Chains A and B, each alone.
Chain A
Amino acid sequence: MSAYRVLRGLNYIPAGQVVEKRVEAGEIATDLLAVSIPWLLEDGLIEPVSDEGAQEAQDQAPAAVAAPDATTEPEAGS
Chain B
Amino acid sequence: MSFGSGKGTRLLIEDVDLSAFFSGTDVAREMKAEETTTYQPGVAAPARSYVVGLLNGHVTLRGYYDSSADAVDPSIRNALGAAAGQVFTWAPLGSGIGAAADLISSRYTKYTVHDPVDGAIAVDGEIQADGPVDDGVVVHDLTAETTTGTQGTSVDGGAATTNGGVAHLHCINTVAGTSPTCTVRLQDSADNSTFADIAAGAFTAMNNVRDATRRQRLVLAAGSTIRRYVREARVIGGSAGPTFTYAVALARR
Interface residues, chain A, with chain B CB atoms under 8 Å away: 8-13, 20, 22, 25, 32-33, 35-36, 39-40, 43, 45
Contacts and interface: CB of A to CB of B under 8 A. Distances in A.
Given A20-B150, A20-B151, A43-B225, A12 B193 contact: yes
A8 B189 CA distance: 12
Contacts of A9: 185, 196-197
23 contacts: A8-B199, A9-B196, A9-B197, A10-B197, A11-B187, A11-B194, A11-B195, A11-B233, A12-B193, A12-B194, A12-B195, A13-B193, A20-B151, A22-B150, A25-B197, A32-B194, A33-B194, A35-B193, A36-B190, A36-B193, A39-B191, A43-B196, A43-B227
Interface string B193-223: 1111101000000000000000000000000
B194 A10 contact: yes
Nearest to A40: B194
Given A20-B150, A20-B151, A39-B190, A10 B225 contact: no
Interface residues of B, number: 16
A42 to B, nearest CB: 9
A66 B193 CA distance: 18
B170 to A, nearest CB: 23
Contacts of B189: 36
Contacts of B195: 10-12
Contacts of A36: 189-191, 193-194
A35 B196 contact: no
Contacts of A20: 150-151
A6 B20 CA distance: 45
Among B151, B194, B197, residue most surrounded by chain A Cβ atoms (within 10 Å): B194
Nearest to A19: B150
Contacts of B233: 11
Contacts of B227: 43
The 8 closest A-B pairs by CB, nearest first: A36-B194, A12-B194, A9-B197, A39-B190, A11-B195, A45-B196, A8-B197, A8-B196
Given A11-B151, A40-B194, 20 more contacts: A8-B196, A10-B194, A10-B195, A10-B197, A11-B187, A11-B194, A12-B194, A12-B195, A20-B150, A22-B150, A32-B194, A33-B193, A35-B193, A36-B191, A36-B193, A36-B194, A39-B190, A39-B191, A43-B196, A43-B227
